Structure 1
Amino acid sequence: MSETLAPPTESAHKTEPAIAITGLTKTYRTGFWMNKVVSPLKDCSLTVARGETFGLLGPNGAGKTTTIKCLLGIVDPTSGSGTLLGRPLGDRSIKQQVGYLPENPYFYDYLTAWEFLHFAGKVFRLPDRLLQERIPQLLELVGLSIDTARKKQLRTYSKGMLQRTGMAQALINDPELVFLDEPMSGLDPMGRYQMREIILSLKQQGKTVFFNSHILGDVEVICNRVGLIIGGKLVQQGTLDELLGQTESYRVQGHDGDVNQFRERLQHFHLQGSHWSGEWGGSLSELLGILNQAGAVVTDLHLQRQSLEEYFVDQVRAVEGDHPVST
């Protein structure tokens, strides 16, 4: 993994939020007579601070991609308002400071990755001298061989290699604000790890990252805050601690001690030789007092709470009544 490409610009320290939207709604008319109204996004309001990594979660068809397209000006919202980096939605001048990786990016597959990144850089009017420095840095960052990038056409690339190329394209202009739509899509475990490290490096630079993902374990590691969108409505948003809470439940492991003094007090108690484990639902001080009195040695102790995946499933079931979501 290479070093970060550049420090954040001075404008990244402005007080305006990176993203601020109020009542954002998008409706379409469909059907043969155009008499059916579909609303993939309904009255969505949220704020993302500069330097924050925000994850938008939701089942298929929930409105995640529509939200990003409205923010980027790819589609116009039916109603509502918002700003990106202090400028109104749709302001073309802000695009120079924004990077975007769509869920299903399109590539000119007769080009090599090097040629494609050079083309993307020229769209931003970057000078050749700067591109000669930046393209190798980006290729190293996303884990693509420079030799392969120079010689092989994109039509020969695997899905994972194309996703890496798309990520490099999204960063070619050194953006302040990066939108990533399912950035882990099509990647193997190593590719997912590298993509996660890239997003964390952007976070360390102070850049703002707004992304959708179905891989909730990665979201827990990466995000400052998350939002949950279901049926076009943003139903929850906040930090993981705010959403998941911290219940007084502990998982404890250890060895030795008078097991008979505490085995009935621990739930899901398991004993193998001198080693034991279990769960405790009371206060931490009381647990430590009991184990200390029994002469037990604690080797692992951690606070348990609902996982993001469990929270996600519970929220979707609560809103949709445990029915599958249409895509």
Structure 2
Amino acid sequence: MTTRPRPGGVRGDLEAVFRSAYPRVVAVAARVLGARDEAEDVAQEVFLTFARSSVPAGEATGWLSVAAAHLALNHLRSGRRRAAREGSALFRYQPWLTAAEVLALHVRLAGTAVPARDQRECLGTVGLADRAGDRVGGFSKGMQQRLGMAVALVARPELVVLDEPTSALDPIGRADVRDLLLALKDRGVAVLLNSHLIGEVERVCDRVVILDKGRVAASGTLDELLGGRELRLRLDAVSAPAEARLAAAGRLTRSGDAFTVELPAEPDATTVPDLVADLVGLGVRVHAVEPARISLEERLLDILRTGPSEEQR
């Protein structure tokens, strides 16, 4: 008797067969391809194909290895290995497992005990509570990324290393990850975050290390790296004495009627009001005054273009 495939999923009678045959199928494909990563892709493709076939479960074990060898040879002949390597930008979990099963598997691999309730809560934390029973083969890249976050957090580690955790996420997903990182910080968990999204780094990190060509270009707390603050003004009728007064307050840059003055990290409370009063007294028409802080992106570009200061080395 043959079991029909579940809607959108793997035949129930083949799940145990797939789990037991997985190492052997990967080994067969690896001997043909010479690379385990590509062999795992072949194994997943074989399993997806058999999951929708009518092959009886009792006969599937022998055919899986044959199919893996045949498919691996096809990869070599057609050049699909290169295409797969260029097109694969994200690690993929075993597609026949559900999100809950992936989490349970990694709990076992970690050699720790995490109650099922806590595992469900972890999936809920990353926004996958309602997808816990769905097979990850149908997950989008963003959902796979969320599942990866759950895998990293489920054992409640004291240190979490995250590499581009917001990759493939929409704006809401990025905000969720940001809130999650801040929650980890409140729990006393150390997070090492690698990211090219400088705005996200500035929002959640206490200390920053800037790398340039594999070397540390600068490091320190945000206050140490960002240093002073800025005062942005839009002015009319700026005379030479007025411009000299602006320059006396800090390093001055000008673009048309827009003026930017760099201020100390902790300027005196009277610095800005006194400057504006002096400008008005000198006949300047003040249209806008905006105190601001130099962004981490601006500082990063400045460091990479000109090199770090001695304080930032």
- TM-score normalized by structure 1? 0.53
Cα drift, residue 196 of structure 1: 1.0
List per-residue Cα deviations over 1:221-273 (Å, max 9, x = no partner): 111111122222222111122122105x302579xxxx769996575576xxx
Alignment partners' CA distance in 1, 2:101 and 2:217 = 43
Amino acid at match of 2:231: Y
Tell me whether 282-291 or 222-231 shows the greater mean CA deviation: 282-291
Matched, 1:212 2:200: no
Partner of 2:38: none
List per-residue Cα deviations over 1:78-135 (Å, max 9, x = no partner): xxxxxxxxxxxxxxxxxxxxxxxxx9444122101111111112223444xx432112
Alignment partners' CA distance in 2, 1:168 and 1:301 = 41
Give the SS at the match of 2:132.
helix
1 or 2 for the larger relative contact order (CA 8 Å, sep ≥6)? 1
User: What is the percent sequence identity of the aligned residues?
Assistant: 35
Partner of 1:117: 103
Question: Which runs of 5 or more residues in structure 1 are unaligned?
Answer: 1-102, 271-276, 320-327
Partner of 2:131: 148
Amino acid at match of 2:131: T
Report the CA distance shift for 1:133/1:292 in structure 2 as closer, same or farther (over 3 A).
Answer: farther
Q: Is the 8 A contact 1:251 1:304 kept in 2?
A: no
Alignment partners' CA distance in 2, 1:149 and 1:219 = 30
Give the SS at the match of 2:115.
helix
Selected match of 1:284 from 272, 287, 292:
272
Q: Is the 8 A contact 1:118 1:131 kept in 2?
A: no
Cα drift, residue 290 of structure 1: 3.1
Cα drift, residue 179 of structure 1: 0.4
Partner of 2:142: 160
* Bigger share in strand: 1
Matched, 1:301 2:290: yes
Partner of 2:79: none
Question: Which runs of 5 or more residues in structure 2 are unaligned?
Answer: 1-88, 247-253, 264-270, 308-313
Amino acid at match of 2:119: I
Q: Is the 8 A contact 1:252 1:278 kept in 2?
A: yes
List per-residue Cα deviations over 1:264-295 (Å, max 9, x = no partner): 6575576xxxxxx864467425324337868x
Matched, 1:236 2:218: yes
Amino acid at match of 2:102: F
Alignment partners' CA distance in 2, 1:299 and 1:315 = 29
* Bigger share in helix: 2
Selected match of 1:201 from 183, 187, 192:
183
Matched, 1:134 2:118: yes
Matched, 1:310 2:294: no
Alignment partners' CA distance in 2, 1:203 and 1:126 = 22
List per-residue Cα deviations over 1:281-317 (Å, max 9, x = no partner): 67425324337868x9998631342x32233234334
Selected match of 2:172 from 190, 200, 203:
190
Partner of 1:46: none
Give the SS at the match of 1:195.
helix
Alignment partners' CA distance in 1, 2:288 and 2:116 = 53
* C-alpha RMSD of matched pairs (Å): 3.3
Superposition pairs for residues 47-66 of structure 1, below 5 Å? none
Cα drift, residue 163 of structure 1: 0.2
